[in-house]
Chain A
Amino acid sequence: MASAAAAALRPSMSMGAAALGRLSSSTGTPLLRPLLPLTQTASLSTSVALLKRHTYPGARSNKDANKKRGQSALRRSGTRWRLSTTDEPLPQPVPRDQLPQIETDPDHGLWDFFPSRETVANTPEEDAKHGRSWSVEELRGKSWDDLHRLWWVCVKERNRIATGNWERKKSGLGFGDAEATERDHEVRATMRAIKHTLTERFYLWEDAVKVAETDPEVDLSGTGPPFTPKTYLEDVEEGAEGAEGAEGKAEEGQAAEAVQETTEQKAEEPAAADPATIPATSKAPTEAPRL
């Protein structure tokens, strides 16, 4: 290996044992010199290893650990390997203030962490400009998609408030903690209302399943039609529409309506539980919906 490397360095070595040093030019045959930096002016050390290698078991290690043996600064023997140098001029470093200014994409998603493009933290006055939170009564009529979207609006608003809080504190802007906390409370109240609504809806669905198990009109096996209304109920409904005064009939009609409602709920639930992780609108909003 070492001899091969040496041969690669000095092609004259392969010509003959006597040809040491730079004899390649005097031999007459034009040799293709390898593209090497012309640092090597003298031959490498050709001294043989004087130490005998001890091979018997238990012998001391006399391995030659000097990787630079044979190289001499005095004899200008150069290195045994090619150095990784290049002629390409190195680029000059540019001062930081002379670098081209980096423009932020106006549609960058991280803008959503700020109340506006110029301000990172809302002023207390701006923070105090908020309405009340959503109540459970208002949210009961909303679909799962609406509630889910509203939840994400709340999450982003809380992130915005947290970013503003951090900025106000670290940059020492001034007051505004109380207003931000108040705003955060309102957002949290909305989130609590959303969870309240969903929990209510879930309990309702559980009750509906229980009722449906005992209902002869509802088939929960999943094989046949889930709901087969009895014919007399339809008759009663027609009769009830005709004469509203009949109390017994009206009660039966209400019962039928109740059953229908529960089944409607049941029909709605699978659609509502359909997993839509993220609302499609939150994908690339230029201006996120503000609370």
Chain B
Amino acid sequence: MVAPLAAAAAEAVAQQVPRRFGTKQIFLPNHIIAFIRPNPRQPPNLATFTVPLQFNKLDLRDYLYHAYNVEVTAVRSFINQPAPRQKFGNRGKWYRPRSKKMMIAELVKPFVWPEPPAEKDRDAFDHGIFKKMQDERDKQVQRQSKRGQIPRRTWGSQPEDRLALKEQAAAFLKDGGWANGLKTEEDDGEWAEVDQEEQI
């Protein structure tokens, strides 16, 4: 519950909010407005929205009040202009993606967003496969961007038996103690140079 003091303060501010709206009536609006998760240190009385490019601050204030019953004291607006890019990644015609208009509304009543689900709770979104695919795509982009480099075998993941062999070899080299159960000539064993007794 909101503390009574805070509620009273919010009410006092709400009474000061000028409720003068435009006179033009729009019956069937076709705008899409998305509510954006705030940045980590953004105060809870600021709410960010993406709005159509033709929207202005008064439009958003009017929209939020009439459609969502949300009081707003002020609105800030800015446009994010994307960088030019090529149609197919690194080839194709250059174009600039459409700009995105964002607005930050100062709310009378603060709004705290729910936390996003933890990575282990994202099974419903198939997060595991999604992450794998994303990583693979990133790698591919990296590979495409560095075309001169020949990928080494060691860059990729190695099979488990290979890794086990490597580990074993390292242990032998460090500790010694390798034996295959056969005797050499010095040990009076069966091993001898073959070409010593050979008659030429």
Contacts and interface: CB of A to CB of B under 8 A. Distances in A.
Interface of A: 96, 102-105, 108-110, 112-114, 117-120, 123-125, 148, 151-152, 155-156, 158-159, 162-163, 165-168, 170-176, 191, 194-195, 275, 277-278, 282-285
A175 B47 contact: no
Contacts of B64: 109
A152 B29 CA distance: 9
Interface residues of B, number: 44
Contact of B28 (A151, A166, A171): A151
11 contacts: A104-B110, A110-B111, A114-B35, A120-B37, A120-B113, A123-B124, A123-B125, A124-B126, A174-B124, A175-B129, A277-B25
B126 A118 contact: no
B67 A102 contact: no
Q: Which of A102, A104, A110, A275 lies at the interface centre, i.e. has the most chain B CB atoms within 10 A of its CB?
A: A110
Interface string B115-154: 0110000101111011100100000000000000000000
Given A117-B114, A173-B116, A176-B125, A158 B32 contact: yes
Nearest to A162: B34
Contacts of B29: 155
A114 B37 CA distance: 11
Contact of B27 (A113, A117, A175, A277): A277
B25 A112 contact: no
A75 to B, nearest CB: 49
A278 B66 contact: yes
Contacts of B69: 109, 282-285
B34 A166 contact: yes
Contact of B66 (A108, A173, A277): A277
A118 B116 CA distance: 9
B58 interface: no
B127 A159 contact: no
B17 to A, nearest CB: 14
Contacts of B125: 123-124, 168, 173-176
B68 interface: yes
B1 A110 contact: no
B36 interface: yes
Nearest to B35: A113
A103 B34 contact: no
Shortest 10 CB-CB contacts between residues of A and residues of B? A174-B125, A123-B124, A109-B68, A162-B34, A113-B35, A174-B130, A109-B70, A174-B127, A109-B69, A171-B116
B37 A170 contact: yes
Given A109-B69, A174-B122, A165 B27 contact: no
Given A102-B44, A104-B112, A173-B116, A159 B34 contact: yes
Nearest to A288: B68
Contact of A108 (B37, B50, B111, B131): B111
A163 B35 contact: yes
Given A148-B28, A173-B116, A277-B66, 15 more contacts: A102-B110, A102-B112, A103-B1, A103-B112, A105-B111, A119-B114, A120-B113, A148-B27, A155-B29, A168-B125, A173-B117, A173-B125, A275-B27, A278-B67, A283-B69
B173 interface: no
Nearest to B24: A277
Q: Which of A124, A173, A275 lies at the interface centre, i.e. has the most chain B CB atoms within 10 A of its CB?
A: A173
Interface in B17-48: 25-37, 41, 44, 47
A163 B34 contact: yes
Interface in B36-91: 36-37, 41, 44, 47, 50, 64, 66-70
A112 B116 CA distance: 17
A81 B41 CA distance: 41
B101 interface: no
Contacts of B36: 163, 166, 170
Contacts of A166: 34, 36-37, 50
A159 B50 CA distance: 10
B165 interface: no
